[in-house]
Chain A
Amino acid sequence: MTIVLEAKNITKQFPGVLANDNVDFDLRQGEIHAMLGENGAGKTTLMNIIYGLYRPDAGQVSVDGQPIVIHSPKDSIQHGIGMVHQHFMLIPVFSVAENIMLGDETTRYGALDRKTVAQRVRELSHQYGLDVDPHALVGQLPVGLQQRVEIIKTLYRDAKILILDEPTAVLTPQEAEDLFRIMRELTEKGVSIIFITHKLKEVLAVADRITVMRAGKVVGTVKPKETSEKKLAALMVGREVILKVEKGRAKPGAEVLKVDGLKVHDKRGLESVSGVSFSVRAGEVLGIAGVQGNGQTELVEALTGLTHSPGGQVWFAGSDVTNRMPRTITETGMAHIPEDRLRHGLVLSYAVADNMVLNTYYLPPFGVGGILQPKAIDANARKLVQEFDVRTPSPYVPTSKLSGGNQQKVIVARELSREVKLLIANQPTRGLDVGSIEYIHKEIVAMRDRGLGVLLVSAELDEIMALSDRIAVMYRGQIVTIAEAGKVTREQLGLWMAGAHPEGLSHPHT
C-alpha cells in the first residue's frame, strides 16, 4: 500500500515540555490508523503540526512522497488533509449546507449558491453513506449528525486524509457504531483516516494499525490482531494497568442522601427531572446510568444547589437542604466533581494553587479574618499536587496550561481533601486517558471504603458497572429502576436506558 502521509523526525519543544521528540509517523492509503496515548503524550501536538496549527522545530511532513511546508490549516486543506476537532466548529443557526460552504462559499452572480452546495452535499452524503439533510439546521441535529456534518465539510474540500480527534467522546454507543461504519465506508472509497482516541476497545474494533505515544515519543506501532487491551494500556502508560477496578463488597451504613419526589426544570423551563426518589448510604456507590440528556445534569445541579427545584425534597446528612445555597450544602459536607470541569469546576486563568481552594478560600487556614493566607494556600497546593500526582511544573502555573486529566485531578484533589460525607461525581472521567481514569476510579472506591456515600453519574456504562454497588437508570427525567449491581447485565441496563420497562424483572425500590 502506498504511503499518503509521512511525518519524519518531528520535534516540537514547548517551554518546559518536549511535546514531540523525534516522532515518526506514516499513514497508508485507505487505512484507519489509530493514535493512542494519554493526555499530554503529544498526539494532539503531532496532529496540530500535520494540520498546520503549529510549526515543528525540526522534522518534515510529506504528502504522497512530496515534502510539504504547512503554515496554516489552509495549506493542509490544499494538500487534502482535513480535521474534525473534538469540539465542533459549527454555527448552530446555519443550515447544514451553509455550514459546509462556510469559508469556501460558492457564489452565483455574487449571491450564495445554496442549490449547488446542497446538491454536492447530497452527493457526498449518498456516496459515503452519511445520510444528512443539507437543509436541516445544525443546532437541531443530534451530536452524531453534527459530527457527520464536520466530516462532510472536510470531504467537500476534497480531503483525502481525515484526522478525527477523539470523535467518540461525545457519542452514544449507537452513534459510535454508526461512526465506525462510516469510517469503514470512507476508507473503502480511498480516504485515509487518523483516529485519535484513548478508548482501547474502539481502537481494537476499528483500526488497521495502532500507534501508541507516550511522553512525546512513539513507543510502538502494532496491529490489532497482535495485541490486547491490556498490552495497549501498558504501552500507553508505561507500566501494567489494572483495567478492572479492584473493589471488595460494600459495607453500606446509614443514609447520607435522601431524595424524595424531586422535580427540576431545565434552562428552557421544561421539566427535565420529574419526581425522582432515591437514597445513597454511607459506604456505597450509587451509579446513575442513562444516555446523556435524560435529566442527569439537572438532577445533580439541584442536589448541589446550583439550580432551583420547584418540587420535592432533598435531605443530606440529616438536614433538609432543598434549594439551599451551594455554600450551605458544601459546608454540610458534600463534594462535587462537576460535569463540565471548565465551566463549573475551575477558573482557568487562576493558578493551580488558587483553584485548589476555590470553595474553601474563606475558611481558616486559607482565609483568616477576610485575609488570604498565601503560605497556607501554598502548603495546601504543594501537598495536594504531590498526594494526587498532579503533573504541573509548579502550583503557580495557570490551570489552563494543564492537560485535561491533570485539570480533573486538581478538582478531585480539592473536593476529596475536605471533610466530606458524600461525593457527587458527574462524568468524572469524561475525556480522560487510561492512567487518569484508573486513578480516579481508585480514588472513588477508596472514598467508598472510607465510609463516604458516592453518587456517580456517568453515560459510560462500563464505568457505572465497574464502580457501582447499586445502579439507577434514568430515562426521560425519571428513574426507571434501581438494581443491585451484581444482579444486572449490560444488556438489561442498555434496554432500560433506551426506555424499556423493567416489568417482570426486579421491582424498583427507592
Chain B
Amino acid sequence: MQSSEERFSNPILGLLRAAANALLVPLLAVLTAMIIGGIVIALAKGDPFYAYVGLFQGAFGSPKALSETAVWATPYIFAGLAVALAFKGGLFNIGAEGQLAFGAVMAAWIGYALPGVLGIDLPAIIHIPLAVGLGALTGALWAAIPGFLKAYTGGHEVINTIMMNYIALNLTSFLLNAPMKDPNPDNVIARTPLIAESARMPIIFEGFRLHWGFLLALGVAFLIWLLLWKTTMGYEIRTVGANPDAAKYAGINVKRTIVLTMALSGLLAGLAGAIEVTGLNYRHELGFSIGYGFDAIAIALLGKTHPAGVVLAAILFAAMRNGATRMQFLTQIPVDVISVIQALILLFVAADAIIRYIYRIRAREERVVLTRGWGG
C-alpha cells in the first residue's frame, strides 16, 4: 500500500519515496531497452560499449552537446505535455502533430507578415509573445474541434485527431507551397520567408543555439503541474479523466471539461510548433516537425503522464536523437538503432508487465487510466 501519511508530516521523505516508486519501471525499461539495443549493435558488428560512449558524448559531452540536447528537448517537452495533459483528462490526443504544424504556420506568418500587414515595426517585446501566443492559440482551436466532437456527438477523439492530422498536414503543405512560400527566386523548398528579427526568441549564450524557449518549456511544465494538482480546474480535468460518471454526479460540466482539456492540450502542442519557429528555425519549413507529435505520445507514456516525468523523458529522447550522430561517426552504427531503442523503451513502458516480470516487481493496483474505449 502506498501510504502517503507523510504528505504533511514529512513531505521530503514522502516525495522521495513517491519519486523512486514512480521512476523505477521507466528507468528499468530504459536500461532493458539499451541492453537489447546493445545486442542489436553487436549483431550489426558494432561495439555496443563504444557506441553508447559515443551516444553519451554526443548528448552531454560538451557545452555544445548539452546545448543541442536542450534544443532538441524543447519541442519534445511541449508536445509531451500536450499528450500527457490529455491523458490526465481521459483523452488520447494523437493530433499533436497537426496542432503543432498549425501552431508553427501561424507563428511564422505573424513573424514574417504581420509587420507588413500592419505597416509598422513591432518591438520584440510585443512581436515574440504575439507570434508564440497566436501560434499556441491556433493549436488550441484546432484541438478543440475533436474535443467538441467527442463531448457533444460522442465521436471518438482517436479517430478524429488522426483525421485532423491529415487535414492539418496537407493544408500546411498547400500553404507552404503557394500563398506562404518564400518568394526568394532562388528558393525551391516549401517554406516560409524568414521571420522578422523582432519575432525571434533570443538565444541564452552567445555561440550556442540554446534559446529561451527551453526555459519556457520547463516553466510551462511547472505550470501544468500546478494546474493539474493545485487548482479546481485541474481537479475537474482529473476527475473527468478518472471517472466521468462521478464527475457528472459531482456537478462538473463534463462536456465543457472535455473541450477545455483538448484545447489546453492543443495549446501546448501549438506552443511546440511556435517555439520551434521563433526560437530555432526562424521560419516554418515543410517536414521539419514530422514525428514530434508522435514521439510526444511515447514521451508522455514514458513520463507516466506526469509533467516532471515528461521533462525527464523528453530530455532522454532529445539526448538520444542528439547523441546518435556522434555515435554513428564513432562506430558507423546507423542512427536508426536509436529508433529501435526508443521503440523498445516505449514497448516496455506500455507493457510494463514485461519489466515487472523480468525484475520481479510487484504490481501496484493503481493503473494510469490512459483512455477509455468507444463510447466510454
A residues whose Cβ falls under 8 Å from a Cβ of B: 14-16, 304, 306, 325-327, 330-331, 336, 338, 343-351, 354, 358-359, 361-362, 367, 370-372, 378, 393-394, 396-398, 400-401
Given contacts A362-B232, A396-B4, A401-B1, contact A327 B251 (CB under 8 A): yes
A494 to B: closest C-beta gap in Å: 32
Q: With an 8 A cutoff between CB atoms, is B3 at the interface? A: yes
- Which A residues lie within 8 Å of B234 (CB)? 372
Q: With an 8 A cutoff between CB atoms, is B121 at the interface? A: no
**A-contact 0/1 string along B229-253, CB 8 Å cutoff:** 1111111000100110111111111
- Residue pair A347, B246 in contact (C-beta under 8 Å): yes
- Which A residues lie within 8 Å of B1 (CB)? 14-16, 393, 397, 401
3 tightest A-B contacts by CB? A327-B251, A396-B4, A367-B232
* Separation of A42 and B233 alpha carbons in the complex (Å): 40
Q: With an 8 A cutoff between CB atoms, is B45 at the interface? A: no
B106 to A: closest C-beta gap in Å: 28
- Which B residues lie within 8 Å of A349 (CB)? 242, 366, 369
Given contacts A347-B239, A349-B369, contact A306 B248 (CB under 8 A): yes
- Which A residues lie within 8 Å of B230 (CB)? 371-372
- Which A residues lie within 8 Å of B233 (CB)? 370
- Residue pair A398, B366 in contact (C-beta under 8 Å): yes
- Residue pair B248, A330 in contact (C-beta under 8 Å): no
Q: With an 8 A cutoff between CB atoms, is B5 at the interface? A: yes
Q: With an 8 A cutoff between CB atoms, is B7 at the interface? A: yes
- Residue pair A359, B249 in contact (C-beta under 8 Å): yes
A16 and chain B: residue at smallest CB distance: B1
- Residue from A14, A16, A326, A367 whose CB has the most chain B CB atoms within 10 Å: A326
- Residue pair B232, A372 in contact (C-beta under 8 Å): yes
- Which A residues lie within 8 Å of B186 (CB)? none
* Separation of A306 and B242 alpha carbons in the complex (Å): 18
Given contacts A14-B1, A338-B249, A393-B3, contact A400 B365 (CB under 8 A): yes
27 A-B residue pairs with CB within 8 Å? A325-B251, A326-B249, A327-B252, A327-B253, A336-B249, A338-B249, A343-B243, A343-B245, A343-B246, A347-B239, A347-B242, A347-B243, A347-B246, A349-B369, A350-B242, A358-B246, A359-B250, A361-B232, A362-B232, A362-B235, A370-B233, A371-B230, A372-B234, A396-B4, A397-B1, A397-B4, A401-B1
- Residue pair A396, B246 in contact (C-beta under 8 Å): no
- Residue pair B251, A396 in contact (C-beta under 8 Å): no
B residues whose Cβ falls under 8 Å from a Cβ of A: 1-5, 7-8, 229-235, 239, 242-243, 245-253, 365-366, 369
* Separation of A499 and B231 alpha carbons in the complex (Å): 51
* Separation of A367 and B235 alpha carbons in the complex (Å): 10
* Separation of A304 and B246 alpha carbons in the complex (Å): 13
* Separation of A336 and B253 alpha carbons in the complex (Å): 18
B224 to A: closest C-beta gap in Å: 15
Known: A345-B246, A350-B242, A394-B3. 10 other contacts (CB 8 A): A330-B251, A343-B243, A346-B243, A350-B239, A354-B235, A367-B232, A367-B235, A370-B231, A372-B229, A401-B1
B212 to A: closest C-beta gap in Å: 28
* Separation of A367 and B231 alpha carbons in the complex (Å): 8
- Which A residues lie within 8 Å of B2 (CB)? 398
Given contacts A343-B245, A393-B5, A394-B4, contact A370 B250 (CB under 8 A): no
- Residue pair A344, B366 in contact (C-beta under 8 Å): no
* Separation of A345 and B247 alpha carbons in the complex (Å): 9
- Residue pair A344, B249 in contact (C-beta under 8 Å): yes
- Residue pair B232, A371 in contact (C-beta under 8 Å): yes
A414 and chain B: residue at smallest CB distance: B250
- Residue pair A345, B4 in contact (C-beta under 8 Å): no
* Separation of A349 and B233 alpha carbons in the complex (Å): 18
- Which B residues lie within 8 Å of A336 (CB)? 249
- Which A residues lie within 8 Å of B242 (CB)? 347-350
- Which B residues lie within 8 Å of A344 (CB)? 245-246, 248-249
- Residue pair A326, B231 in contact (C-beta under 8 Å): no
Given contacts A396-B3, A400-B365, contact A358 B232 (CB under 8 A): no
* Separation of A33 and B8 alpha carbons in the complex (Å): 47
- Which B residues lie within 8 Å of A348 (CB)? 242-243
- Which A residues lie within 8 Å of B251 (CB)? 325-327, 330-331, 359
A400 and chain B: residue at smallest CB distance: B365
* Separation of A362 and B250 alpha carbons in the complex (Å): 11
- Residue pair B232, A306 in contact (C-beta under 8 Å): no
- Residue pair A400, B366 in contact (C-beta under 8 Å): yes
- Which B residues lie within 8 Å of A347 (CB)? 239, 242-243, 246-247
A346 and chain B: residue at smallest CB distance: B246
- Residue pair B8, A394 in contact (C-beta under 8 Å): no
Given contacts A349-B242, A370-B232, contact A397 B3 (CB under 8 A): yes
